[in-house]
Amino acid sequence: MEEATAYLRDGVLSHLEKLEAHARKLALKQEETQQQQENLVRLRARIQELRLQRDELQTKVNLQQVGLIRQEGATSSNVEPVQGAETGGQALLKWKVENVKAMLQAFHLTGISGKLTKRGVCFCISTAYEGTYLDSYYLDLLIQQPVQIHHHSVPIFIPLEQIAKKYLQTDIKCFLAMLSDHLNAYAGRKYQADQLQDHFSAFLEGTLQRNSLHNVLFFNYDVETESKTFPFRAKLVYGNLTRSLPTEAIITCKAGDVSASLVEKTAAHSNLFRHTALHKAFDSFKRAAESLDQSM
């Protein structure tokens, strides 16, 4: 009986030791796996860093090649000038293509995306205002000498031609950033006017008047102040087409007798429209009217 008990005890202890050894092996494997994953993350980050360095070096080399070719062409004009010009053009085109590839990554989180095509690149510029995604516009570029706009869906009232003339051949990144600023500002102005028309029409007297670019707005509105309702006329001018707030807000009161406090109220409205989104300004008028009703 004692021998059986000892045998059973030894068997249990042996099995327990095996389980503990197996558990230690699993723990070691988990540590090794975690270390391998951490090493893999570091290696991937290093690879990305090296790729960026490679692209920067390649761009510098291309630029130096273009500069050398131009210099050689100026000093030795009798040695195959046509071939030198062609080689310089090819190097410049190669640099532009590499530059575009780098931009596709840099612009990914800024509302600008794109994909390479057989002849160039197609960009998509997405617009948004205060976290609300609005319209998207497309721009198909031919990467050649000179760079050309093949197709686009940019509205005709956006100064695309002037922006392209100033930036497209010298700085594509600046060209896209400037075009994006114009489109986002236009989308923001239009969004504000739509919000005013859809949600605060009770304040408006008549129809909101606006042009295609939404850089000039006219509207009449009524606001209760001094326990009375006064009619106001507003003209908002957006002198900076890359901004969604007006540079000038001309507010007049259509009432016959205008008190000093009402003049101050008119000036306050002008300041509010120049520094606050249009629909938010009217939302403040709405809250003020509601609080006035509750106090009466």
pLDDT at 9: 52
d(CA 72, CA 87): 12
Q: Rounded CA gap, 242 and 58, in Å?
A: 34
* pLDDT band for position 95 (cuts 50, 70, 90): low
Q: How many CB atoms sit inside 10 A of residue 221's CB?
A: 22
Q: What pLDDT, in 10s, does the model give residues 230-267?
A: 899 999 999 999 999 999 999 998 776 667 878 888 99
Instruction: Give the per-residue pLDDT at 26.
Output: 73
List Cα–Cα distances, 4 to 1, 10, 185, in angstroms: 5, 10, 89
Residue 114's SS3 state is strand
Q: Could you read off the pLDDT of 54-77 as tens digits, one per residue?
A: 655 655 554 454 443 344 444 444
